[in-house]
Chains A and B, each alone.
Chain A
């Protein structure tokens, strides 16, 4: 039994190691840092893993040793006065050593944790890019701060950051508690109704990342993702300049779609800058077609996915707050064409 178990454990261990290595990298992985914060936390993880791993090993060795010893001992009269056992003295000394080791280990870990926490809390924020993020069931509203109101950029379910510049996120919630978390960039922070929280991220590596709501927020908590991109400052500036206002419809079909949008119920909730649509309860759609996903990460963006969504939002993400609007197939195509033109 023991030999089988050892083989089994080795196999499981080997598989686990492979999977661990695979899981260490990715676009939503805490141990594949792309920002200062995630990297700092990653180093704390390494420290923890070594210290705790060492302690665990000691426990297993002691346990294994006691079981090994036990093979030679036959059942006999119980030892009533344990304190008179010859092993009592060495065991007491070992306990003393173990106690000291635990103290030292905890001291190292709590000190490490404290210093890292202080360094994260005291990071410089004066030249930071300020972004306000508001969470609602089940999407993210992202607003880039600017000196003048016309330069403010509003988007949804995507966060673009220039590499190397700290970004200070101001976090709020409209309805219930959510939690903002992009593992590659840093730790999570709750968004709580009635409170304003903040989170500082300093991205260092360009790339596409993914975050997800981390506090259970109701029916579609599982489908409340946010796409993050870290890009060169120049690319970021270009993106910001392109943003407002929306592209005008150019083909006849897009024009028809534009009319459907503006005359339908869509404008009650959605905003498209540069048009009469100014609804605020749903995501801003000004540059919908430039996003990587739709419906807060529920589907990768494509013409077809968008059309499916418009046909019946409740199949892709049941219970979300977008009502189904009955449209003929041609109207649906026209509307999709128009929205698909909002690059």
Chain B
């Protein structure tokens, strides 16, 4: 830490300050203290682990599906069970893994990268995690009790409506949406506020690391996109539970309304998953190329452009529904335009590596894998944007191949790279490089063996979401190959888990900044102390830790109270000292009340009313004003 200080205070002075800050910001070891914590690092860690657990669960489902499809007319899994399995696979991967884990990484990293002591709205953050956990656990228990979702991750009506999906299965699905979207919206609001108001002094917009830019754009997208799906799922629930007719054509409703609402969310959702991954890629590329990013301004503009365009192309999921053909061409153009910002970013990363001094360690390997896989997925995306071609390959295995190339290639590979990259910061220990290489190569090869053949299967006429297929259509060998590849991915993920378990106990100690990375999260010890920064860091350039000269800090935040420094939104000039919320159990109680409310409404429509009362009580407790100490006028030094 001493290196981060402009003057060299005595070690006793540092120890005393550290002890005081530990008392102010620390989380005790008792059960209640752990449950009440609002430390973004603890919440973020829980979020990441939970998200990864859902990834493994959904991966197991994928292996079950690949086992069933290994040969023609295989009767291992009944159609009813298979339909639940693929629905749960998609639902879990999209709603319980991909979006939450990206937000989870941001919950951990954004405050550190901003140079602040905690995320904004820390109690909302804790609440968000509990709500997410409750929603995920609920839908998985339902699935294990054979009331899992059965209509796919986008649950088209009327199939998901009251008439064709009787019972409670789809109700659990729809409420799971509500849970996860509440959680995601909460985190998005926190991230926007943290990034806009809590950046270290001197970190102007033009000096923001690309990861922060990516998370800013993503969070704004969440705020705009998620309400659409909550509206859609609320309509669905009310059609199912209280007999409204939003989606019933016989009563003047419309089945396509669901698709418009869902994809207005669903397409941006893909970029909500993908943009954080781009931020991770930029972080890794810069650190391992040991060079500032090439064309920073264009990179920022590309993120913004992707975020904007994402809202103008949902109809390309609906080309086959018979919408006016000429209008569809507009969405062809909009969809293809996404290739422009993506192409620029790909170029910039490669250019940075080209001109940099790359070190080929696991994080960079995953980034290279990302480029090779993602670009292919992007190009098949361009193909899918063309209406006539889409009409052939839509809803076939070609599309399955396409979105696994963009989602696994575009998000999971960067995420694994990010795990290898930030694991030392999270835990203070390095992951094994040797196992990391095995992990990467098995994943890379397994992935391509599993998913490349699916392009061909789609062109050869195999529709998606079929629990079995007849022999004689030329699909057997490709399906077998694909299944073998899937198992290779399984082995690779197991290796990763072994690597993590092993490194947690005997991994090489990491030190503060093992990669010599330039961003602020590497400025403190690993793992970071509860208060993150002893003093507020001052940023003088885009790569904060690479700047020459002694590092400057700002003093003046109270060591005995939870305070963070708010800065101005554009220039990041010190603005005000803002009290930061103290630990509380109310977010947990509020989340439990929310859970009772949401699950209750699945079984009894009246729960919508009575379920709101316990939550109201919890919110009153949560927001009950404490007596603030008299405001001491003290401008930051």
Contacts from A to B (Cβ < 8 Å) = 1, 5, 8, 12, 15-16, 19-20, 22-24, 26-31, 38, 40-41, 44-45, 48, 52, 55-56, 59-60, 62-63, 65-67, 69-70, 73-83, 85, 87-88, 91-92, 94-95, 98-99, 102-103, 106, 109-110, 112-114, 116-117, 120-121, 137, 175-177, 179, 181, 183, 186-190, 192-195, 197-198, 210, 212-223, 297, 318-319
Contacts and interface: CB of A to CB of B under 8 A. Distances in A.
Contacts of A112: 386
Interface stretch (B213-221, B355-363, B601-609): B355-363
Given A44-B386, A78-B291, A59 B350 contact: yes
B292 A5 contact: no
A210 B473 contact: yes
B294 interface: yes
Contact of B470 (A52, A69, A120, A297): A297
A186 B65 CA distance: 29
A306 B545 CA distance: 76
Nearest to A219: B79
B309 to A, nearest CB: 13
Given A94-B347, A110-B336, 17 more contacts: A1-B441, A19-B453, A19-B478, A27-B473, A44-B389, A75-B290, A79-B355, A80-B543, A109-B386, A110-B385, A186-B391, A187-B391, A214-B396, A216-B395, A218-B151, A221-B465, A222-B465
B159 A213 contact: no
Interface string B149-161: 0011000101100
A80 B396 contact: no
B452 interface: yes
A194 B459 contact: no
Interface of B: 78-80, 83, 151-152, 156, 158-159, 163-164, 249-250, 254-256, 290-295, 298, 320-322, 325-326, 328-329, 332-333, 336-337, 339-340, 343-344, 346-348, 350-360, 368, 371-372, 375-376, 379-380, 382-383, 385-396, 437, 441, 445, 448-449, 452-453, 456-457, 459-461, 463-470, 473-474, 477-478, 481, 516, 518, 541, 543, 546-548
Nearest to B456: A23
Q: From DSSP, what is the main secondary structure of chain B's interface residues? A: helix
5 contacts: A16-B456, A63-B350, A80-B541, A177-B158, A215-B320
A109 B156 contact: no
B325 A69 contact: no
Nearest to B548: A80
A62 B449 CA distance: 24
Given A59-B346, A189-B320, A319 B354 contact: no
Contacts of A16: 452-453, 456
Given A188-B392, A192-B321, A216 B151 contact: yes
B384 to A, nearest CB: 10
Contacts of B254: 194
B388 A113 contact: yes
A24 B347 CA distance: 33
Contacts of A222: 79, 465-469
Contacts of A27: 473
Contact of B461 (A29, A52, A63, A103): A29
A203 B292 CA distance: 58
A181 to B, nearest CB: 7
B460 A219 contact: no
Residue picked from B348, B380, B394, most chain A C-beta under 10 Å = B394
B255 A192 contact: yes
Residue picked from A23, A29, A103, most chain B C-beta under 10 Å = A23
B336 to A, nearest CB: 5
Contacts of B382: 48, 52, 106, 109
A212 B448 CA distance: 27
A65 B36 CA distance: 52
A114 B332 contact: yes
A19 B474 CA distance: 9
- The 6 lowest CB-CB distance pairs between A and B, nearest first, are A194-B249, A187-B391, A28-B461, A113-B386, A222-B466, A66-B354
Contacts of B333: 110
A219 B464 CA distance: 14
Residue picked from A16, A55, A94, A190, most chain B C-beta under 10 Å = A190
Given A8-B445, A179-B395, A188-B395, A98 B347 contact: yes
A110 B332 contact: yes
A8 B346 CA distance: 26
A41 to B, nearest CB: 5
Given A66-B354, A110-B333, A110-B336, A217 B388 contact: no
Contacts of A85: 291, 355
Contact of A82 (B355, B390, B394, B445): B355
Contacts of B351: 66, 87, 91, 94-95
Given A62-B354, A106-B339, A219 B386 contact: no
Given A12-B449, A113-B389, A222-B466, A98 B343 contact: yes
Contacts of B256: 192, 195
Nearest to B477: A19
Given A70-B360, A91-B351, A219-B79, A177 B541 contact: no
Nearest to B463: A214
A181 B546 contact: no
B132 to A, nearest CB: 27
A254 B622 CA distance: 79
Given A59-B350, A113-B388, A214 B395 contact: yes
Given A117-B387, A214-B394, A70 B358 contact: yes
Given A95-B295, A193-B249, A69 B320 contact: no
Contacts of B360: 70
Contacts of A73: 356-358
A277 to B, nearest CB: 27
A83 B96 CA distance: 41
Contacts of B347: 62, 94-95, 98
A62 B354 CA distance: 8
Nearest to B470: A297
Contact of A41 (B163, B291, B356, B388): B388
A45 B147 CA distance: 42
A104 to B, nearest CB: 12
Nearest to B389: A44
B284 to A, nearest CB: 14
Contacts of A65: 354
A220 B372 contact: no
A67 B388 CA distance: 38
B332 A113 contact: yes
B467 to A, nearest CB: 5
Contacts of A94: 347, 351
B320 A190 contact: yes
Given A69-B354, A110-B333, A318 B387 contact: no
A80 to B, nearest CB: 5
Contact of A23 (B359, B379, B474): B474
A75 B515 CA distance: 11
Contacts of A177: 156, 158-159, 255
Contact of A192 (B322, B346, B355): B322
Contacts of A194: 249-250, 254-255
B355 A102 contact: no
B461 A30 contact: yes
A47 to B, nearest CB: 9
A29 B357 contact: no
A38 B461 CA distance: 12
B36 to A, nearest CB: 42
Contact of A183 (B343, B376, B448, B461): B461
Given A114-B332, A117-B325, A216-B151, A52 B354 contact: no
A20 B456 contact: yes
B111 to A, nearest CB: 24
B515 to A, nearest CB: 11
A87 B390 CA distance: 41
A120 B325 CA distance: 10
Given A41-B391, A63-B350, A222-B467, A106 B474 contact: no
